[in-house]
Structure 1
Amino acid sequence: MLLSQLPDDVLYCILSYLDYKSLSRLSQVCRSIYHFVNRDAVWRNIAKEFLNTGITRNGTDIYPHIPLKERVKIAQNWYDGVCRKAIPLKWKLKLLPWLQLDGDVLFLSQAADIGAYRLRQDYGRILCRPFEIYSGHSGDVCRFVLTDAHLISSGSNGKILVHSRRKDMSMELRGPNQEVNCLDSKNGLIISGSRDEQQRSVYSAPRGTISMYDRVWSVAISPTVSSFVTGTACCENFSPLHIWDVERLECVCSLGTEFRRGAGVLDMVFESPFQLLTCGYDTFIRLWDLRLSPRKCAMEWEEPHDSALYCIQTDGNYMIASGSSYYGVVRLWDKRQAKCLQFFQLSSEMVSSPVYCLRFCSSHLFAALATTLHSLDFRHSPIPIR
C-alpha cells in the first residue's frame, strides 16, 4: 500500500511525529501528498509551539483565512528576527500617536484627528492618505479603542467621543475637566482614566466616578466584563494595580505590594479572563494569574537596558512585543525564555523617541513613534546587498 492510500486518520497520526522541516520536505514527494500535507489539521499542533501563528493557548484561531503552513513559515522569521523595515508615514510635529489594527485597516491618531488607512492586500504598503478621518476633539487624542460598530476616543480636553463606524455620526460623553489618559470599552461599557485623579465608568450614560487619589495611566476591562483593572502612577499607593467590580464599583483587590514609588503602569492587556499582562516605568513586563489566591505575579521579564516600557501586545500564546522609552526599541519576548528573543532599534541615537504604541498581525508589526510610523514585514528575508 502506498503512503497516499492510507486512511486519513492513520496519515494524521504518522505526520504528527514530524517537525515542520520534515513536513515541508514530505510535501514535495508528489501532488497527492502535497495537498494532504498542506491541510491545516496537519499543522495545527506544530503551529501552537511557534510565535504569532494566530493559535491561542485555548485553541482559538485568530487568522483562519491564512493557511497554517504559511503562518509557520512566517513565524520562523519572527523567531529569528528576519524582516524588512519600512517607514510608511512621516509627520513634522512631535506627537503621542496611538494605533489600532482591524483587518486590512490601520487606525492612527495624529494630534486631534484619527485617520483610517487602507493596507494593501498583501500588507506591503499603506496608502498615504486616510480614506476616513474621525475628528471632534479640540485637543490631542490620547487613546482610542475600536468596537464592531464604534470608535471611542478620549482627548487632552477631557472629552470622550463615540464615533459611528458605519454612519457619519458622533456623540460626546461628558468627561472630567482634564486630560483623559486611557480608555477601554467592551459590550457597551466604557472605562476611562484621567489626570485629575479620577476614573470615570459609564455604560451608555455616566454610571459613576471613582476617586483614585493618584493619576490613572491605564485601564483594561476583563473579557468577562464583570471587572476591570486600573494602573496608576504609584505615587500615593503601595500598589499601582487594582481590580474593580463593574456593578458595585468597589475595589476587589490590589495586585502586588513591592512596587517602588513612581513605578506606574503604562499599559496592560488581558490574555484571558484570568491572565493579565502589565508594563510600565519599573522596566518589567509582568504576567498576573488572577486565579491564585492571593493573586500574584506568575512570571516577569525585565527590559535589559533599564528603559520604561510604554506599550505591550501579545499573540495570546507565547509571544510578547514591547515598546521602550529610548531609541524606538521594539523587543520580542518568548514566554518560555527569561531573556529577550529579538530587538529592533527604529530611531537613531540623535533623534531618540519612545515607541508609544505597537500592533501586529501574523506577518507585520506596526510601531508609532513621535514623528514616524514604522512597519516590520516578516514574510520575506531582507533583500541582499550587492
Structure 2
Amino acid sequence: MHLAQLPEDVFYHILGYLDYRSLSRFSQVCKTIYSFVNRDIVWRNIAKEFLNTGISGNGTDRYPKIPLKERVSTAQNWSHGVCRKDIPLRWRKNLLPWLQMDGNILFLSQAAEIRAHRVHPEGKRTLGQPFQIFSGHNDDVCRFVLNNSYLISSGSDGLIVVHSRRSRSQTKLPGHSQEINCLDSRDELIISGSRDATVKVWTLTSSSPRGTFSMFDRVWSIAIDPSVSSFAVGTACCRTPSPLHLWNIERLEHVCTLGSNFRRGAGVLDIVFESPFQLLTCGYDTFIRLWDLRLTSRKCVMEWEEPHDSTLYCLQTDGNHMMASGSSYYGVVRLWDKRQSQCLQVYELSAQRASSPVYCLRFNSSHLFAALATSLHSLDFRHSPSSSS
C-alpha cells in the first residue's frame, strides 16, 4: 500500500512523530504528499513549540488566515534574529507615540492625531500613506485602544474621545483633571487612569463615570482581563508600598495588592493579561514579571531582568512563549523566550547621540513595529540578513 493511501487518522498519527525539518522534506515527495502535509492540522502541535506562530497557550489561533507551515518557517527567523530593518516614518519633533494593530492596519499616534496605515505584505514600502486620521484632542494623545468598531483615546488635555471607526463620529468624555496616562476597553467598558492619582470606570454609552477611585499615586498603566471580571492598575510606587493593584469590575472593589518590598519609584509602565489568571508587568525596576492571579497564589511566579538596568517602557506577548520589550536607552528591543532566563535577541534601533526609549511596540506574525521619539522602526522577519538595510 502506498503511504498516501493509508486512512487519514493513521497518516496523521505517523506524521505526528516528525519534526518540522522532516515534515518539510517529506512534503517534497510528490504532489499528493505535499497537499496533505501542508494542512494546518499537521503543523499545529509543532507550531505550539515555536515563537510567535499565533497558537496561544489555551489553543486559540491569532493568525488563522496564514498557513501554519508558513508561520513555522517565519518563526525560525524570529528565534535566530533574521530580519530586515527599516524606518518607514520619521517626524521632526520629539513625541511620545503609541501603537495598536488590527490585522494589516497599524494605528500610530502623532501629537494630537492618530493615523491609520496599511501594512504592505510585500514590496519595499512597509507602510502606505495614512488612509484615516482620528482627531479630537486639544493636546497630545497619551494612549489609545481598539475595541471592535471603536477607537478610544486619552490625552494630555484630560479628555477621553470615543471614535467610531465606521461612522467617524466621536463622543468626548470629560475624563480627568490632569493628563490621562493610560486606558483600556473591552466589551462596553472603558477604564482610565491619570496623573491625578485616580481611576475611573466608564461605559461606551455613558457621559459620566460609573465609579471614581483614588489610588493615592500617579497611575501609569491599566489592563482589563480577558473575562472582563477584573482589572489591574500600575502606579508610580512613590506613596504606596506596591505599584500593582487588582480590582473587581462587577463590585468595583479593590481585591488585593500584588507583591511587596518594591523600592520607591518602581512604577509599573505596562501591563498585559495573557489569561484571566496570568498577568505580565514591566516598568522602572527593569524586570518583566509573570503573576499568577489564582486565589490560592496571587504572587510573582517568574521574572526576567533587563541586563543593562534600563527601564522597560512597554511589553507584548504572543500568548505562548515569546515576549518583546522596549527599553529606555538607545531604542533597544529585546525578544525573550519564557522558557529561558536570558534574552533571546537584541535590536538597538537608535544611535547613541539620539538615544530614545521605545515608547511602544507591536508585532504580528511577520513584523515588529517600535515607536521611538522621532521615528517608527520596522523589523520584517520574512527576510534574510542580505536584504537588511
- Give per-residue Cα distances to partners, 1:237-263, cap 9 Å, x unaligned: 111011011133221001001211100
Deviation at 1:147, TM superposition (A): 1.0
Counterpart of 1:347? 350
Judged with a 3 Å threshold, the aligned counterparts in structure 2 of structure 1 residues 273 and 124 are, in CA distance, closer, same or farther, namely farther
The partner residue of 1:378 within 366, 370, 381 is 381
Counterpart of 1:27? 27
User: What amino acid sits opposite 1:330 in the alignment?
Assistant: V
Output the CA distance in 1 between the equivalents of 2:99 and 2:10. Answer: 46
- Give per-residue Cα distances to partners, 1:253-304, cap 9 Å, x unaligned: 0100121110000001100010000000000000001115241001100000
Q: Identity across aligned pairs (percent)? A: 71
- Structure 1 residue ranges (4+ consecutive) displaced by more than 4 angstroms after TM superposition: none
Unpaired runs of at least 5, structure 2: none
Check if 1:62 corresponds to 2:62.
yes
Counterpart of 1:93? 93
User: What amino acid sits opposite 1:377 in the alignment?
Assistant: D
Counterpart of 2:316? 313
Deviation at 1:198, TM superposition (A): 1.1
Q: Secondary structure at the match of 2:73?
A: helix
Q: Kindly indicate whether the alpha-carbon contact (under 8 Å) linking 1:210 and 1:249 is maintained by their aligned counterparts in 2.
A: no
Check if 1:264 corresponds to 2:253.
no
Q: Kindly indicate whether the alpha-carbon contact (under 8 Å) linking 2:241 and 2:262 is maintained by their aligned counterparts in 1.
A: yes
Output the CA distance in 2 between the equivalents of 1:264 and 1:131. Answer: 37
Output the CA distance in 2 between the equivalents of 1:127 and 1:256. Answer: 41
Q: Secondary structure at the match of 2:212?
A: strand
Unpaired runs of at least 5, structure 1: none
User: What amino acid sits opposite 1:93 in the alignment?
Assistant: K
Judged with a 3 Å threshold, the aligned counterparts in structure 2 of structure 1 residues 18 and 351 are, in CA distance, closer, same or farther, namely same
Judged with a 3 Å threshold, the aligned counterparts in structure 2 of structure 1 residues 249 and 124 are, in CA distance, closer, same or farther, namely farther
Output the CA distance in 2 between the equivalents of 1:110 and 1:257. Answer: 37
Counterpart of 1:2? 2
Output the CA distance in 2 between the equivalents of 1:4 and 1:364. Answer: 36
The partner residue of 1:331 within 306, 329, 334 is 334
Q: Secondary structure at the match of 1:13?
A: helix
Check if 1:125 corresponds to 2:120.
no
Q: Kindly indicate whether the alpha-carbon contact (under 8 Å) linking 2:98 and 2:142 is maintained by their aligned counterparts in 1.
A: yes
Q: Secondary structure at the match of 1:53?
A: coil
User: What amino acid sits opposite 2:354 in the alignment?
Assistant: V
Q: Kindly indicate whether the alpha-carbon contact (under 8 Å) linking 2:159 and 2:176 is maintained by their aligned counterparts in 1.
A: yes
Output the CA distance in 2 between the equivalents of 1:86 and 1:300. Answer: 31
Output the CA distance in 2 between the equivalents of 1:120 and 1:317. Answer: 26
Output the CA distance in 2 between the equivalents of 1:90 and 1:121. Answer: 21
Q: Secondary structure at the match of 2:352?
A: coil
Counterpart of 2:364? 361
Judged with a 3 Å threshold, the aligned counterparts in structure 2 of structure 1 residues 10 and 184 are, in CA distance, closer, same or farther, namely same
- Give per-residue Cα distances to partners, 1:10-45, cap 9 Å, x unaligned: 111111111100111111111111111111111010
User: What amino acid sits opposite 2:4 in the alignment?
Assistant: S
User: TM-score under structure 2 normalisation?
Assistant: 0.97
Counterpart of 1:250? 253
User: What amino acid sits opposite 1:104 in the alignment?
Assistant: N
Counterpart of 1:220? 223
- Give per-residue Cα distances to partners, 1:336-382, cap 9 Å, x unaligned: 00000001000011110000000000000000000000010001212
Counterpart of 2:171? 171
Output the CA distance in 2 between the equivalents of 1:337 and 1:121. Answer: 31
Deviation at 1:121, TM superposition (A): 3.8
Q: Secondary structure at the match of 2:377?
A: strand
User: TM-score under structure 1 normalisation?
Assistant: 0.98
Judged with a 3 Å threshold, the aligned counterparts in structure 2 of structure 1 residues 305 and 286 are, in CA distance, closer, same or farther, namely same
Q: Secondary structure at the match of 1:176?
A: coil
Q: Kindly indicate whether the alpha-carbon contact (under 8 Å) linking 1:213 and 1:236 is maintained by their aligned counterparts in 2.
A: yes
Deviation at 1:123, TM superposition (A): 7.6
- Give per-residue Cα distances to partners, 1:171-204, cap 9 Å, x unaligned: 0011112100001001111100000111111123
Output the CA distance in 2 between the equivalents of 1:136 and 1:202. Answer: 19
Q: Kindly indicate whether the alpha-carbon contact (under 8 Å) linking 1:104 and 1:123 is maintained by their aligned counterparts in 2.
A: no
Deviation at 1:4, TM superposition (A): 1.4
Output the CA distance in 2 between the equivalents of 1:256 and 1:149. Answer: 36
C-alpha root-mean-square deviation of aligned residues, in Å? 1.2
